[in-house]
Amino acid sequence: MTITPARLAYAADGTPYSEIFDDVYHSSDGGLGQAHHVFLAGNELPQRWAGRDRFIVLETGFGLGLNFLATWDAWRRDPQRCTRLHFVSFELHPFTVDDLARLHARWPEFAALAAELRATWPPLTPGAHRLHLDAGRVSLTLWFGDARDGLAQLDVRADALYLDGFSPVRNPDLWSARVFHLLARRAAAGATLATWSVAGEVREGLRRAGFEVGKAPGFGGKRQMLRGRRGGVPDVGASLAPPAQARHALVIGAGLAGSAVAERLAARGWRVDVVDAAATAGQGASGNHAGVLRPLPSLDDNRMGRLTRAGTLYGWRHITRLQAQGLPVRAERCGVLHLARDANQLTRMLAVVERLAQPASHLRFVDAARASELAGWPLPQGGWWFGDSGWVQPPSLCAANLAAHPECIRSHFGRRVMRLQRTDDGWAAIGGDGAAIARAPVAILAAGTLIRDFPEASALPVVSARGQVALLPATEGSAPRVVVCRGGYVSPAVDGLRCAGASFDVDDDDPELRAGDHAANLARLEGMLPGYTATLPDHGMQGRVGFRPASPDRLPMVGAVPVPAPVTGATPLADIARQPGLYAVSGYGARGLVWSALLAEMLASRLDGDPLPLEQDLADAVDPARYLLRPPARMRGDD
């Protein structure tokens, strides 16, 4: 769907107002007072989060973000606060970051928090966006789009519900029976709710959905408000910190996949042992000098399009966080130019841009003249311009991931894991001498193509895709000044070298540079930038070969490793037997940069009991057990 931003407007008394719904965003008696009286106090906050490891708030309308800022501020001020606060909110018409800045100026007491929120505010694209704030202690998951779709898609068990939105008369869809029943599904046992609305249809709808509701004194000129509770005994223990010995993971592999999982678990306080045969991080398939971090849009916004968009946006936020910690991730959002192969594809690319109607800063169509200007080279065709994308040096990202939480991550380099051994309390990584390198209750296989050497992962149809890139001498500032793609990619100059490639040969185990592949990479480069190869100095054949773990359907394999056993196509994924405590992070193909951070956050969220950062249908699409439900198709070349 297309996201239509809210338009900044005000009622006669100066209260922020929606022209779309013909209603105000908060009580004319004061938005902050309403946030505290109705939503915080109405949910018995901050008392209810005291002493807990995690507390989850779900809100039906983000609006100005005032309820979130008030909750975040109350959490910061509370000495008995929970360790981590999760806030999940939905917004059909989000504000642009510039309009948010104008609105937030009304509450100077929140200036620092509001500025931090706006600094990580995502482009207005549909779906889930996870933001990490307050040094990672506060997570905000925003759903841009219809709340009914988001409530159906997001996996969350909320402790408190803020029912906030425009009035039932102005926006009946948000107060419908379907929404109330979805809220009941997303509420933990004993969850509370609060709303300013006491309309009869709201009270009755919530009761029918399983909530006990009653009226309470309202805020300002509104005499009454509504409070409620979902039946059942609250499982407070589930929100307390698990035993320290259980929050320990063994990660096999220190490339993009493994290092990202280690970082995301360590950010939650897990102890992580990372084992890799190389001397340093990111030396296998993640070892290229420069790779591309950008989405792959589609006309129907299919799973690949949505997953690469979400992965790209989260990936850049992840890199920004690491850099803010002072970690030297080599990356530049210089922009990525994806050129059309011919006139027919150019027409299709224009149709995609028009259909998706995403912010121009994220995706727009450019003609040949503008493309030439962006690349600094004359081009015969235009295509897509991803202005907020660019290149990343993968080994620097892997190293930063492992260095982000030194108190939690222990690396074992130069140690090859020959096999896994099931133990009474988890898994042990056994080295060549027969001794355990490390052991933990949870093991995560992120070993690239070597995952195929582990019998426990035999149900996963991982294939090896040989990739060769060319390394070309380049002076800083020379063309192209941006990443250019078309059947391959070429990077700007990075430390005097330019990457061009890459080949994608399935089940080809030759580790040596090949003249034929080098020539093919130069041909791809010439196809992108006509006449460019004639300007290259005589550089011989320099390059790199890596072997990428790929999947038959080009989507990753991330989740609990299934037990290889016959199942019917109608078997729910959740009912398929899994190897206890064993997980896989594989199948990234040529998109390790795109998917590693987001899917690491997904796996860490699942392991630690947090809300997932992406839609359930996307989580199902990357579940490793999907191949037991349908035979894998023949592997196709990667894009």
The string of pLDDT tens digits covering residues 488-528 is: 999 999 999 999 999 999 989 999 999 999 999 999 999 99
pLDDT for 634: 60
- CATH 3.30.9.10 residue ranges of the chain are 468-544
Q: pLDDT tens across 80-128, in order?
A: 999 999 999 999 999 999 999 999 999 999 999 999 999 999 999 999 9
Q: pLDDT tens across 143-199, in order?
A: 999 999 999 999 999 999 999 989 999 999 999 999 999 999 999 999 999 999 999
Could you tell me which residues are beta bridge partners of residue 485? 338, 489
Q: Token pair 């990584």 is at which residue?
A: 429
**Mean pLDDT, rounded, of the chain:** 94
Q: Cis check for the bond before 480: say yes or no (omega within 30 of 0).
A: yes
Q: What region, left, alpha or beta, does residue 275 occupy, with left being phi > 0 and alpha being psi -120 to 50 degrees?
A: beta
- On the question of pLDDT at 546 being above 80, the answer is yes
- On the question of pLDDT at 631 being above 80, the answer is no
Mean pLDDT of 375-390: 97
- CATH code assigned to 244-284+396-462+552-629: 3.50.50.60
pLDDT for 322: 98
Q: pLDDT tens across 434-482, in order?
A: 999 999 999 999 999 999 999 999 999 999 999 999 999 999 889 999 9
Q: At what angle do helices 592-608 and 303-324 cross, to 10 degrees?
A: 80
**Whole-number Å distance between alpha carbons of 364 and 382:** 11
pLDDT for 101: 97
Amino acid residing at 172: P
- On the question of pLDDT at 245 being above 80, the answer is no
CA neighbours closer than 13 Å in the CB half-sphere of residue 161: 33
**Whole-number Å distance between alpha carbons of 457 and 419:** 11
Three-state DSSP class for 365? strand
384 is written with which tokens?
Answer: 């897509």
pLDDT for 221: 83
pLDDT band at 637 (very low <50, low <70, confident <90, very high): low
Q: What is the DSSP letter of 39?
A: I
**Whole-number Å distance between alpha carbons of 398 and 415:** 17
**Whole-number Å distance between alpha carbons of 612 and 607:** 10
The set of residues, in sequence order, having a beta carbon less than 8 Å from that of 422 and lying 6+ positions away, is none
pLDDT band at 569 (very low <50, low <70, confident <90, very high): confident
**Whole-number Å distance between alpha carbons of 151 and 178:** 10
Q: What region, left, alpha or beta, does residue 482 occupy, with left being phi > 0 and alpha being psi -120 to 50 degrees?
A: beta
Q: pLDDT tens across 128-157, in order?
A: 999 999 999 999 999 999 999 999 999 999
pLDDT band at 220 (very low <50, low <70, confident <90, very high): confident
Whether the predicted model's global pTM rises above the 0.75 cut: yes
Q: pLDDT tens across 363-380, in order?
A: 999 999 999 999 999 999
- CATH 3.50.50.60 residue ranges of the chain are 244-284+396-462+552-629
372 is written with which tokens?
Answer: 């030439």
CA neighbours closer than 13 Å in the CB half-sphere of residue 628: 25
- On the question of pLDDT at 242 being above 60, the answer is no
- CATH 3.40.50.150 residue ranges of the chain are 17-239
Mean pLDDT of 241-255: 81
- On the question of pLDDT at 240 being above 70, the answer is no
- On the question of pLDDT at 54 being above 80, the answer is yes
- CATH code assigned to 468-544: 3.30.9.10
Q: Cis check for the bond before 502: say yes or no (omega within 30 of 0).
A: yes
Regarding the domain with residue range 17-239, which homologous superfamily does it belong to in the CATH classification? Vaccinia Virus protein VP39 (3.40.50.150)
